Chains A and B, each alone.
Chain A
Amino acid sequence: MQIISTGHRIKWWAAIKDGVVAAWPICLGYLAIGLAFGVIAQKAGLHPLEIGLMSVMVYAGSSQFIAISMLAGGSAIVPIIVTTFMVNLRHLLMSSSLSIYLKSVRSGWLALYAYGVTDESFALNLARFRNDDWDWRRALVLNHTTNIAWIGSTIAGGFGGQFIPQGAFGIDYALIAMFICLFIFHLRGNIYILVAIIAGGLAVGLSLLIPGNSYIIISSTIAATLGVLFRKFQLSRRVEGKD
């Protein structure tokens, strides 16, 4: 019993160290966006505690921005909640994709893990899971490290402080640069490049045509489906060729 618990403790300590260290690009990006969010929310009349409460309960940046602008525009509660649902539905795909790497994890931990699924933590954790040096503990720590960065910076912004001058150090580009690099990591062959081109082209086109961010979920679903069909077609052609 003693040995098992010591083993667990060592696993967690290593996970905490690795997870916190790996989280830095996201924390940097969240610091910039979180401060900006806090400042805007405070101007819209929210107390820093109310801002913190939203960040803790929702933890999804773009939907929080939209909620604040709807609140400031005098919207009722239900339309804001419905919009939030639509804006955050894309996490369904991310959470599905992550589930492959979370087999045999206890459901209590999974429930805690799910809370921290964001565009950023999804992209970073998934790229790390592909290397063998990553596991659910490290991923969970990364999720919650970035969560703390988000909550802390939104509250700090809510105290009226734009603590970082606008545009300083190019911090606004941190997340885009991170996404670009992780995107490159995920292009592991021609089929992935094809899927990415379809998804990117569709996403740009749809984002110009339909309001909101549903273009993300629509274009990635279509692109991944075409990828599966294309592979199937390619394989069946190969089999036929042999006959």
Chain B
Amino acid sequence: MAADYFLLVLGMGIVTYIPRLIPILFLSQRELPRWMVEWLDYIPAAILSALIFPAILTSGEPRIFDITRPEVLVAIPTFIIAVKTRSLAGTVIFGMFLYWLVEKFFF
């Protein structure tokens, strides 16, 4: 294995690990102010929204807005199933099955 490659992977590993480690190590040992706890409480809904919507509504590099993708078509009933059943397993299996159907027969 080339030494260059090892250095590359080591560097990538360090810069990836630091942002993962610092907040967990320091914030978990402290009593946080109320506004910050509240702020952190909004982060999951915000991040998941920021991960999901560009992933289904845009594609390509550079990204373009495209609502005719199978991801969009499948997302709508998947959202409904998630709201109705509140079951993670059910939603994942339903979403996969529907995506498989849509890919197979429509695209």
> Interface on A for B, CB 8 Å cutoff?
25, 28, 46-47, 49-50, 53-54, 57-60, 63, 67, 71, 77-78, 80-82, 84-85, 88-100, 102-103, 105, 107, 110-111, 113-115, 117, 119, 122-123, 126-127, 167-174, 176-187, 191-193, 195-204, 207-208, 211, 215-216, 219-221, 223-225, 227-228, 231-232
Count CB-based A-B contacts (< 8 Å): 286
Closest chain B residue, CB of each to CB of A98: B24
With A95-B19, A95-B22, A215-B54 as contacts: A196 and B49 at CB distance below 8 Å = yes
From A91, A105, A170, name the one whose CB has the most chain B CB atoms within 10 angstroms: A170
A181 lies within 8 A of B88 (CB):
yes
A196 lies within 8 A of B46 (CB):
yes
A115 lies within 8 A of B17 (CB):
yes
B64 lies within 8 A of A208 (CB):
yes
* Given A170-B103, A208-B63, 15 further pairs, Cβ under 8 A: A53-B6, A84-B12, A92-B23, A99-B23, A100-B28, A102-B24, A103-B28, A123-B44, A176-B56, A177-B91, A179-B51, A181-B87, A196-B45, A220-B46, A227-B39
Q: Name the prevailing secondary structure of the B interface residues.
A: helix
B37 lies within 8 A of A100 (CB):
yes
With A178-B91, A204-B65 as contacts: A110 and B25 at CB distance below 8 Å = yes
Q: Which chain A residues border B17 with CB–CB below 8 Å? A: 114-115
Closest chain B residue, CB of each to CB of A198: B46
Q: Which chain B residues border A98 with CB–CB below 8 Å? A: 23-24
> Interface on B for A, CB 8 Å cutoff?
1, 4-13, 15-17, 19-29, 32, 35, 37-58, 61-65, 71, 74-75, 78-79, 82-83, 86-89, 91-92, 94-101, 103
Closest chain A residue, CB of each to CB of B6: A53
Q: CA A133 – CA B92 in complex, angstroms?
A: 21
The distance from the CB of B79 to the nearest CB of chain A, in whole angstroms, is 6
With A95-B21, A182-B48, A184-B79 as contacts: A203 and B95 at CB distance below 8 Å = no
B43 lies within 8 A of A114 (CB):
no
Q: Which chain A residues border B29 with CB–CB below 8 Å? A: 103
Q: CA A71 – CA B11 in complex, angstroms?
A: 14
Q: CA A92 – CA B9 in complex, angstroms?
A: 20
A187 lies within 8 A of B45 (CB):
yes
A183 lies within 8 A of B52 (CB):
yes
Q: Which chain B residues border A117 with CB–CB below 8 Å? A: 20, 24
